[in-house]
Amino acid sequence: MSPAPYDSLVTCIGTGFSGICVGAQLKRWYNETDIVFFERQRSSGGTWWINTYPGIACDVPAPLYSLSFEQSASALVAMFEFTPLEDGIGTQTLIEIKKYLDDVAQKYNLPSKMRFSSDVQSSTWDPDRQVWVLTVLDMETNRTYYHTTKILFASCGQLIRPNELDVPGLETFKGAAMHSARWRKDVDCTGKKVVVIGNGCTAAQIVPNLLKDAKPESVTQLVRSKHYVLPAPQLSYTGFLRWVLTYIPGALWLLRLLVFFGAEMSFPFFYTTPLANWYRRRATRRAKAYMRSKCPVELQDALIPNFELGCKRRIFDPGYLDSLHDPRVHVETRRATQVLPEGIRLSDGTVLEADVIVLANGFRTNYFLDSMKVTGENGKTVTDHWQQFGGAEAYNCSVLSGFPNFFIILGPNAATGHTSAIMASENSVNYALRILKPVIVGERNTVRLDAQAERTYVARMQQSLAKRVWNSGCQSWYIQGDSKWNAMSYPWSQAHYWWRSVFPTWQDWHIQ
């Protein structure tokens, strides 16, 4: 028997939730184990390996923030037992989610197929051999080598490249500076003057937990924009409920279904119809009332938004508003203009002293696959392909015409603001494996998306997004600059995405 004309049948870039889902489903559906993973980090886990900042937690209920085919009562209870802040929800959530991912990976024997500290610098389609040729850098030895594969998955995630600070002088700072996504465990904040730049979801988790765990002298937060802060979901897995979930057949699935439908019922909230507008106005009033009841009076004008609820990502309060009453906390609305060796100069010339600067200013959004060069048929790169559309896009959030046997998991427009990104990721994986079946089982060589089908899909996508609250005018990471191009949000329900993934439109495909 002649050797296979490639190094692996399947290659997956990334080993977070999406990558592990690819490997597990490939084994479950086709009993196929010929897969190799490339991961830049030193371990699997994706977000839940890279992010280690104080208070890191997930605000999605566990039955949805997990893989549908790996439901465990004990794991889900441990992962998302929403408890008061003093019980350390952040650390426990991080540890348990990482353990859940490790357990799933071990069950399907995936760690042995993972190559860590491996940076895929480029992926190029070879039309003669009909394989993808990857250029891989071994980051430990600095050696570059090639890897060929029939099928390529990009499971790199959406929020992976931290924003740089848009204020000059950070390199001159004499203290410790770090982005929240690159938290330095060697930095001790005890007794220090800490400045947190940003006030989005991450900052709302960091501030109260820094106060509790690090015992800083002060925490000054530079507020850059306004966000709605809502009450955190209060889920309590009582002893009886734990028993039911563990011993009653189907109970876990029923709970997952109920949570799913509960989340889906909130989706019409994002439309701009008269009924949705009325509902959103009511929800906005409730959100403002909650913030007024919790937020110090002198900070309410600076923190409570004046735009529609839903236009930006909502923050589920992890104790943030209560922490603003701590005398060590100072909220600063003056704009930072320069970082100095001793601190930060503000817009009025005042110098804010700092020992530690934490950048909680988010990630580069609306960009995908920008850490590697992907070249498809006729020498066209992904960047070239997206320029003709005006922004990042993908048919069914995962496929590009001219790039055979290539799927992006949790790609452009895959996620919604009302439910679990893990469900969207699993839908993407299942869709890809349905389309790829003829190639996986050896009946065909390639699957190619029809170019006109992609253009039609993308036009409909952007037209629908224009009628959603995300495009209603506020500044948010959903929108690409001033272009109004939205590559981050899915304009329809997750049930709709599931349906499209279960029942593909086969006439949009060329299978050879």
Does the pLDDT of residue 344 top 80, yes or no? yes
- Quick one: pLDDT at residue 92? 53
The 10s digit of each residue's pLDDT in 56-80 is 988 887 788 899 999 877 766 666 5
* Domain spans of the chain, in order of start: 8-44+110-161+365-511, 170-227+313-359
Does the pLDDT of residue 128 top 90, yes or no? yes
The 10s digit of each residue's pLDDT in 390-443 is 999 999 999 999 999 999 999 999 987 788 999 999 999 999 999 999 999 999
**Mean pLDDT for the stretch of residues 358-369:** 88
DSSP code, position 214: I
The 10s digit of each residue's pLDDT in 194-231 is 999 999 999 999 999 999 989 999 999 999 899 999 99
The CATH label, of 3.50.50.60, 3.20.20.10, 2.60.40.10, 3.40.50.720, for the domain at 170-227+313-359 is: 3.50.50.60
Q: In whole angstroms, what is the distance from residue 374 CA to residue 121 CA?
A: 9
Residue by residue, DSSP assigns 367-404 as --STTSEEE-GGG-BHHHHHHTTTS---BTTTB-TT-T
The 10s digit of each residue's pLDDT in 306-325 is 988 888 888 999 899 999 99
- Quick one: pLDDT at residue 85? 37
CATH topology identical between 8-44+110-161+365-511 and 170-227+313-359? yes
Contact between 166 and 345 (Cβ < 8 Å): no
- Residue length of the chain: 512
Q: What is the largest CA-CA distance in the chain?
A: 77
The 10s digit of each residue's pLDDT in 368-402 is 898 899 999 999 999 999 999 999 999 999 999 99
Contact between 77 and 242 (Cβ < 8 Å): yes
* CATH topology (fold) of 8-44+110-161+365-511: FAD/NAD(P)-binding domain (3.50.50)
Residue by residue, DSSP assigns 35-51 as EEEE-SSSSS-THHHH-
